Structure 1
Amino acid sequence: MDLSQIKMVVTDMDGTLLNSNHEVSDLFYELFEGLKSKGILFAAASGRQYHSMLHKLDAIKNDIIFIAENGALVKKGNEEISSTPLDRDVLDQLLGIVDSIDNAHAMLCGKYTSYFDGNSLKFLDQLKEYYSAYEIVDDYNKVSDEIVKIAVYHETNAENYIYPKVSHLEEKIKVKVSGLNWVDLNHVHAHKGNALQTVMEQHNIKPSELLVFGDYNNDLEMLQLADYSFAMANAHPNVKKVAKFETSSNNDFGVERILEKLI
């Protein structure tokens, strides 16, 4: 495996760059300096909101590209590269469907703030890990912000209990199982693949110059863009089918091991 032509590294966060305690390793930050010295671009791509990603990667926030909300918001520094919000009529339709699903809890994800209603308060401690900037509202219809994603939470298993109830919408919106407890609903054109494609065109990056890491279904499109795509050992089976290579788990420095070889 010859990584000598790599000009850009992109990694998912939860289950990939972050360990099970949602931490970024000190080793990664050391390796990032090596990437920077070689002029290799770095992007973090996540279903998380922008502010949550910013919090996790605060030490390098001015040097990297953020692909947030599954690609619905892309930023570097103060520059907003792209934004793909949901249409209001689609948003209202989706909220009606989610409301009819037992034990489903919908969060509205604006560009920079998320909105929880009273039905989600008992899960707030879990949700705050992913949504560090949030408001509690009594009625989602009163939220006037641009909404880039609806995140639907199920405390047991989102793939089994939420996904079957919304999968029929996949031609109209982007439906992604993004973790054990989460299904994300985005604009049909808002996914990590489209967002990364925009960044690649902006920086003239070819597939042979791109290294990508992922672990869940919301990573599939961006993995398909890279000649060097890595599934984590802990990845969903769908990811292992798409990725060209595999690395060790997120708890065993899977990203860092490959970055060491790259540097």
Structure 2
Amino acid sequence: MTHALAFPTTRPRLIATDLDGTLLRDDKSVSDRTVAALAAAEEAGVEVFFVTGRPARWMDVVSDHVHGHGLAICANGAAVVDLHRGRRFVRVRELPHGTALTVVKELRELAPEVSFAVERTGGIHYEPLYPQFHLDPGAVIAPVDELLSGGSEYSDQPILKLLAHHRELTPDGFLDMARRVAGHHAEFTRSSPSALLEISGPGVSKASTLALCCEQRGIAPEEVVAFGDMPNDLEMLNWAGSSFAMANAHPDVLAATPYRTSTNEDDGVAAVIERLLSLPATA
């Protein structure tokens, strides 16, 4: 159910939605109801942006459900990609090489057992102790200093984000510690149930990249409705004029967002979109 006091009064011009835990069901599928709601939104002239921590190559789950514009914001705002054109990068907001090295040094001093992965425009590479991704069988596995080396064969590919994993710390505890120690160098967030941090360049977030895309289209924050469930969605939810936290959202998201919808398993995003489309368009 949506929060009775928090529903918008006019139809938005743009809907921004997270994917995992939000638009997608737990099995990573998109329900028939959600597919129909997305299509109806674009048919009504409402743009839909998928805004996710996923890299572009993991967008197969929604590529078939993008209609008019085909753009998505990936890697927590580090990339805007065109899903209609082979996931071509339209904009890249990279993590500077020197900043990545500094963050690695400071996090390793904080938590020596941390392991790292480096997400570049061409793919991900990670250290031997980092949890391996079955979706990326071609990843290079090596110490992080080598992964960040300027002489590597992939060093010409911009760094989208650095990932840091710890086997023992709590997810929120690790995030708080890392922000205190190195938060002045880069943006730290998380979207995983494990102690996995996602680190972007200064000022790079879902919110800031969404704001840039909206500015290009002449769309104001109050004309945007956003959906999310995890800490990496918080800035976006705070930026948008109307924001809905999923019923299954992280406690920090629920605390920061007065708007509510049902869980991702119960098509919470679709339920709100259906109601939004019944509203009058913005004058």
Structure 1 length as normaliser, TM-score?
0.87
RCO higher in 1 or 2 (8 Å CA, sep ≥ 6)?
2
Greater displacement, 63-72 / 155-164: 155-164
Structure 1 segment 14-33 matched on structure 2, within 5 A: 14-33=20-39
What is the correspondence of 1:1-263 to structure 2 with a 5 Å cutoff?
Answer: 1-52=7-58, 54-61=59-66, 63=68, 64-76=70-82, 77-78=84-85, 80-99=89-108, 101=111, 103-120=113-130, 123-124=131-132, 127-128=133-134, 132=136, 134-138=138-142, 139-140=146-147, 141=149, 142=152, 143-144=154-155, 145-155=157-167, 157-161=170-174, 163-181=176-194, 182-263=196-277
Alpha-carbon distance in 2 for matches of 1:71, 1:150: 13
Amino acid at match of 1:87: P
Q: Determine the C-alpha separation between the residues in 1 that align with 2:231 and 2:49.
A: 18
2:116 counterpart letter in structure 1: A
Which deviates more from structure 2 when the two are superposed, residues 190-199 or residues 76-85?
Answer: 76-85
Q: Check conservation: 1:105, 1:152, Cα contact below 8 A.
A: yes
Deviations 1:192-236 (A, max 9, x none): 111000111111112232110011111111112222100111112
Contact 2:16 2:226 in 1 (8 A): yes
Q: How many residue pairs get matched?
A: 256
- Compared CA separation, residues 197 and 167, structure 1 to 2 (3 A): same
Amino acid at match of 1:88: H
CA–CA distance in 2 between the matches of 1:220 and 1:162? 14
CA distance in 2, matches of 1:220, 1:133: 32
Change in Cα spacing, 1:96 to 1:15, as seen in structure 2 (3 Å) is same
Instruction: Note if contact 1:98-1:106 (Cα within 8 Å) is conserved in structure 2.
Output: no
Query: Distance between the aligned counterparts of 1:26 and 1:98, measured in 2?
Result: 43
SS in 1 for 2:104: helix
Shift of 1:91: 1.3
Q: Which structure would you say has the larger Rg?
A: 2
Structure 1 position 162, deviation (Å): 5.4
Q: Which SS does the other structure have where 2:139 is aligned?
A: strand
Q: Compute the displacement of 1:112 (Å).
A: 3.6
1:67 touches 1:73 (CA, 8 Å); kept in 2? Answer: yes
Cα offset for 1:167?
3.2
Identity of aligned residues (%): 23
Q: Provide structure 1 residue ranges, at least 5 long, that are not aligned to the other structure.
A: none
User: Is residue 73–residue 83 contact of structure 1 (8 Å, CA) maintained in 2?
Assistant: yes
Gaps of 5+ in 2: 1-6, 278-283
Report the TM-score when normalising by structure 2: 0.82
Report the secondary structure of 2:189's partner residue. strand
Q: CA 1:161–1:172 in 2, change beyond 3 Å: closer, same or farther? A: closer
Most deviating of 206-215 and 94-103: 94-103
Give the Cα separation in 2 of the matches to 1:198 and 1:212.
Answer: 15
CA apart distance, 1:151: 1.7
| Cα deviation digits, residues 58-84 of structure 1 (max 9, x gap) | 213464321111001112344644211
Residue deviations 1:16-47, cap 9 Å, x none? 11222222222211111111210110111111
Instruction: Find the residue that maps to 1:24 and give its secondary structure.
Output: coil
